[in-house]
Copies of this chain bind each other. A is one copy, B any other.
């Protein structure tokens, strides 16, 4: 991953799988080509990884990986599976898919051993440095009370961004993304201005009447924030 980053989490919205997911991915790819300096990442459901990664050249991430290796692991998704299916990374410990303390360490390690990137999600800035020390490619900080609220972390709780940026610098490794309630050009711009390496969001794009236009707005916000 390189900064700046726009990470779009497809969640399990009804355009996150099937034909609609191919369409929306192609639209996002089209728009993102106008912003070659911003890394766009699509976090898609496990069932969609293979089809979407064949359809677009943007980075495709999984939304979750199990901290296990191949074998008798019915229903589990391994890092190796993700790599074979075309993913280049995965979210780890998303607020809707929390995992164990040791499992974060093991997931990051498993992903890394198959050449995959990891974005560890945390709910407080005290967890930024611990996650970075485990070798995560990036940390995504999301205050839980703002997720899906439409009130952005960058405007409502700028200190979370500022403190997390300080934490990641202390750790000396990893990128720092912020999320929760980010919906507008201004939210994205402010996040970058506060020092974040990128922003993460889901509903703002996935439930937008016109997802591609919304992506353009957010990319524009990041671009302005950088200057």
* A residues at B contact (CB < 8 Å): 9, 11-14, 16-19, 43, 45-51, 63-64, 68, 70-78, 80-82, 84-85, 91, 93-105, 120, 122-124, 126-127, 129-131, 133-134, 148, 202-203
Contacts and interface: CB of A to CB of B under 8 A. Distances in A.
9 contacts: A14-B80, A16-B81, A50-B51, A63-B74, A72-B96, A75-B94, A93-B101, A98-B101, A100-B101
B70 A13 contact: yes
Contacts of A71: 11-13
B134 A70 contact: no
Contact of A82 (B47, B81, B120): B47
Contacts of A70: 12-14, 16
A64 B74 contact: yes
A95 B76 CA distance: 12
B77 A45 contact: yes
A154 B47 CA distance: 35
A131 B91 CA distance: 21
A75 B9 CA distance: 10
Contacts of A126: 105, 133-134
